Amino acid sequence: MPDTENPRNAHDQPDHGEESYVGSGRLTDRRAVITGGDSGIGRAIAIAFAREGADVLLSYLPEEQRDAETTADWIRKAGRTAVLVPGDITDETMCTGIVQRAVAELGGIDILVNNAAYQMAQEGGIADISTEQFDRVMRTNLYAMFWLCKAALPHLQAGSTIINTSSIQAYQPSPQLLDYATTKAGIVNFTKALGQELAERGIRVNAVAPGPIWTPLIPATMPTENVEKHGESTPLGRAGQPAELAPAYVFFASADSSYITAEVLGVTGGQPLS
């Protein structure tokens, strides 16, 4: 588990649990696919999964190769296999290829984490959201999740899990993130519907809904003044760290949550989801 007694200031480098996460064998020899696994929340999940005993395939954009290699190094330091698959998941063929690589190089899939997302704040709201941006957000956040789940399903056995990354934006949408918030709400309903469908097969589907988390996505997609205040409005008064999210994904991936499916777990610093 990560040490959160002294969480870093939001303006430091994100804490992915590199020096703090200690595993306990909860995912021994499981095979995981993580989209957006190069940095931020994805990196924290990958480190935690590896230290819990899982082999991990990382999906990421080609321009994030250096970050992905750093994450892979942490996986290998934990004694587990890392498979790197660069590419754009807004392409259905790419999503199918990710699943094929996992089957070929890991021997199958036990855990699918749909974590990759795209957001771009627009202070002018809907008037400033171009069709190009809207399409990219939808295809990255919703279409790719659909394609990956559909492709992975023939390879998932009873006991397998799917974990989707939603957001507090699904429940408390910001006008400047209208398109992003729309997809995150869609992920909640997708999770609940698919979880019910796959329950009889023993495959569980759940979602994690982060609040304000300090990741590379934040300064890249928000106005500077918003970045400075990121997370201050939460009851805990700060943004969370990726390392503080990873245990939620481990929980859903492991037998610790064997009687939980079609649920959403908020990791929001005290902000209510409803």
Catalytic residue numbers read 180
- Whole-number Å distance between alpha carbons of 230 and 63: 26
Do 111 and 31 meet the contact criterion of CB atoms below 8 Å apart? yes
- Whole-number Å distance between alpha carbons of 1 and 21: 5
Containing 57, the helix (H) or strand (E) segment is strand 55-60
Residue holding tokens 């995912």?
A: 27
- Whole-number Å distance between alpha carbons of 245 and 1: 10
- Helix (H, G, I), strand (E, B), or coil: what is residue 34? strand
Strands 82-86 and 31-35: unpaired
- Whole-number Å distance between alpha carbons of 252 and 123: 35
